Structure 1
């Protein structure tokens, strides 16, 4: 690992923890620098702006989300259970002590109106989830209309769990998804 890669990873780790727990606007570059243990010069050599850190952090979160979801879904063989595994993944995530909602929704709420690049990346992430739900629905033999219904259940569960501080939103979304899947496959 090069010094530049190490500094980049440390900055992203620090920024992710700070932004996710306190918000994007509330955290300044000095705080990121201090938490990462790098000089301001090194910070700006790796990331020329706060927006570049946010974009890199969101790209990394997208990769983590995708690989985590793929692992849970991929562990199931039955198409119906592969769809429902999405909500099991959410349930485990919501139960994590550090859960503060969807980082993409949080970023859009704070930065979506002022950063076209952040908005575009968030829209791409959300579209990839829609595409994954469409793939899972198609594999199960369900009509295409099921995918956006399932995705909205997952998105709503994320928001509800974050605002209410109640991880049971995943279970409620899973129960609703079961009804929708069973009706679509009947």
Structure 2
């Protein structure tokens, strides 16, 4: 059973996640979060002294959820090369669920306009872990060696990131699936 403090933190983060993604960090006020989370103002500030503290906690939590979802999705695929392609299917599904709203980490990075080095560091950590995750899959894949492991990992990372951005512009999964077809030829 969750302790009262954790219940409040979860309510705050659930609300912040929904609002930050839907309307952006800069367009979301603390008072709106307090109202929609149905908590007291003091409760928010007890757990998050500043809006930037809340943003960082949101990114950390979202990253943990991202990693768990990714591992669960890829855990259903036994073929090592298939895992690389499943990355694109997983991101297609996530973008469809989000109505092609784009990557929440990139969205936050692009519009938060905070000079707090903790925020930049957290976003960089998230993206570096994503690259490392892909590199591990590449190393295990037994790919055709048209590219080195590092080159293929970078290519997959850039194709995935770029296709997610492109899918948010064109509002279609075709962008991500097109990137998948290119990667399929390389592995």
Q: Normalised by the size of structure 2, how large is the TM-score?
A: 0.92
In the alignment, is the contact (CA less than 8 A) between 1:157 and 1:173 conserved in 2? Answer: yes
Which residue in the other structure is 1:20 paired with? 21
Does residue 149 in structure 1 map to residue 127 in structure 2? no
Q: Which moved more, 1:109-118 or 1:21-30?
A: 109-118
SS of residue in 2 equivalent to 1:24: coil
Structure 1 residues 32 and 98, CA gap change in structure 2 (3 angstroms): farther
Whole-angstrom distance in 2 between the partners of 1:85 and 1:97: 18
Q: Residue 95 in 1 paired to residue 86 in 2?
A: no
Q: Which residue of 1 aligns with 2:179?
A: 173
Partner of residue 184, structure 1: none
Instruction: Give how far 1:47 is off.
Output: 0.9
Task: Compute the displacement of 1:123 (Å).
Answer: 0.5
The higher relative CO (CA closer than 8 Å, separation ≥ 6) is in: 2
How many residue pairs are counted as aligned between the two chains?
181
Aligned mates of 2:12, 2:166 — CA distance in 1: 30
Distance 2:182 2:10 in 1: 39
RMSD value over aligned CA atoms? 1.3
1:107 aligns with 2:108: yes
Secondary structure in structure 1 of the residue aligned to 2:102: coil
| Gap regions ≥5 residues in structure 2 | none
Q: Give the drift of 1:111.
A: 2.7
Distance 1:34 1:99 in 2: 27
Equivalent residues of 2:81, 2:142 under 8 A apart: no
Paired position in structure 1 for 2:72 = 71
- Give the secondary structure class of the aligned counterpart of 2:110: helix
The equivalent residue for 1:53 is 54
Counterpart CA distance in 2 for 1:73 and 1:29 is 37
